[in-house]
Amino acid sequence: MDFLKPSLLILLFLFTVRATAANAAACTGQWQLWNAYAGHFIQSDGRVIEHSQKGRTTSEGQAYSLFHALVANDRQRFDKILAWTRDNLAAGDLSRHLPAWLWGQDDRGHWGILDANTASDADMWLAYALLEAGRLWNRPELRRLGKAVLHNIEIQDIRDLPGLGKTVLPGREGFQLDAGRWKLNPSYLPLQLLRRFSRASSTTVWDQVIVTTRKMLLAAGATGIVPDWIVYDHHKGFTTLPNESIGSYDAIRVYLWLGMLNDADPLKARFLNLLDFTNDSFGLPPEKIDTRSRMGAGKSPIGFKAALAPFFKSKQAERRLHRTIRMIDSQWKNGLLTDEPRYYDQNLALFALAWLEKRFRFEPDGRLTTQWETPCTDAAGNPNSSLPAG
């Protein structure tokens, strides 16, 4: 058996120390990245702000932050984020309206909805956060609201595509290119969420969505690299549009969702074997990769590196994982990544690092398990009473 090089042993030691410290912090209710993120990006009324995008707010940002608040057991912020989303993106009633995807300041200086179309990934993370918050916090009203949002997704965001079946479109409008073609986004469909919806829905539609998603992901990842967008053609099957074979800011999430998927999921091993984002020529990783030529370009933001960490861990790519952790650890500034923190980077890191620190996991059926549900123990195995009540 080959011995590890000293440099890797040092990295392994540092990673173990970091994980131990993170677990200890979780036992005392501390999650520094979440607290820093909330302080920088979330207003006191629950609006999540993208400072680098003219102060806009998206349904994605609201939904992601609801999930993070649940993982943090931060019920007060969860309720404020939910209330702002309901009142400003859903006409005051999330049981009847899916949220508009974009809110901000228009050319006349007025603040409000800029685009009323839906974003199905945000809709699904919203439904998931509500279902799991209702279950974990024993709040039936949240569970009922989650099921209402799920029902509205089934009506508005899902279409029955000829020759393919029930498919989640990226939004309610604008993604049918012509009579026989639809534009799809592989990163919008985390399998763990689809598994959970299959249990929660009163219909079989999500079982069908899992089948079509499997087909789409196999086609999207055929070269080992996933593009941001893929087209389904009723006559030709899956293809990419000219000049749109690039994997970048959207596609990076496919690797993140896959890395965090439960190991017992029957599709995880197949997709891990299919995707091979481990080649040194990619530069860990570039900002953009052409999925056909496999040529990369541009320097990626730190969030890309965080997103790939669970993927590398699941693929047992240890050298890549520890190199990634080292790069992430070099970027902390005042509790956030980089001295000019950007919303998207921090969200990718919140998902990835919390999963690595075992703050949460997805069960095979998609249910969420959080660290705060189970009493922590001290070195002698005694329960730690400082754990937040669940």
Q: Which of 2, 45, 121, 141 is catalytic?
A: 121
At 43-92, the pLDDT tens digits run 999 999 999 999 999 999 999 999 999 999 999 999 999 999 999 999 99
Catalytic residue at 60?
Answer: yes
Element (H, E) at 320: helix 318-329
CATH of 165-300, one of 3.50.50.60, 1.10.630.10, 1.50.10.10, 3.40.630.30: 1.50.10.10
Q: Write down the mean pLDDT value for the chain.
A: 89
Mean pLDDT within 228-242: 94
Stretch among 8-12, 184-188, 232-236 having the lowest mean pLDDT = 8-12
At 190-234, the pLDDT tens digits run 999 999 999 999 999 999 999 999 999 999 999 999 999 999 999
Mean pLDDT within 256-269: 98
Mean pLDDT within 243-257: 94
CA distance linking residue 94 with residue 87, whole number of Å: 9
CA distance linking residue 185 with residue 206, whole number of Å: 17
Looking at per-residue pLDDT, the higher value among 200 and 297 belongs to 200
At 103-160, the pLDDT tens digits run 999 999 999 999 999 999 999 999 999 999 999 999 999 999 999 999 999 999 999 9
Looking at per-residue pLDDT, the higher value among 65 and 285 belongs to 65
- Domain parsing of the chain, residue ranges: 165-300
At 357-382, the pLDDT tens digits run 999 999 999 999 999 998 664 333 34
Residue 19 has pLDDT above 80, yes or no: no
Q: Which of 2, 45, 50, 60 is catalytic?
A: 60
